[in-house]
Amino acid sequence: MVSMLLAVHDAYTTVVAQIGNPTPETPPVADKLMKLVRYFTWFTMLSGVTAITYGGGRFAWEKWSGGGLESPKMIAGAMIGGVTATSAGTIMNSVIGS
């Protein structure tokens, strides 16, 4: 039994030793994909700034008109969403392990 396991191990290491280490190369549409990612990043930043501006304007309107204050929740949500969107790259690198 032991000699059989040693033979299998020897055959396995012989086969694995013949497999080369492939050289990395960029995918065919990497430049277009990176352009799309950049557009998405700008859209995310623009929507975050718009949400915070809208929440701030609504907060000022609610303070001025004396209505119920619901806009601080909007501002906090926009800020939490912005932090999450901004740190998404770092989170993904941590998850993937790069």
Chain segment 32-84, per-residue pLDDT in tens: 888 887 888 788 778 777 877 887 788 788 778 877 777 777 778 877 877 77
Query: In this predicted structure, what is the pLDDT of residue 18?
Result: 65
Instruction: Determine the residue type at 77.
Output: G
Cα 81 to Cα 29, 52, 74, 98: the distances in Å are 30, 10, 10, 24
Domain boundaries, the chain: 29-96
Mean pLDDT computed over 1-11? 77
Query: In this predicted structure, what is the pLDDT of residue 84?
Result: 79
Mean pLDDT computed over 79-90? 76
The 10 Å CB-count burial string (b at 16+, else e) for 61-98 is eeeeeeeeeebeebbeebeeebeeeeeeeeeeeeeeee
Q: With 80 as the cut, is the pLDDT of residue 16 above it?
A: no
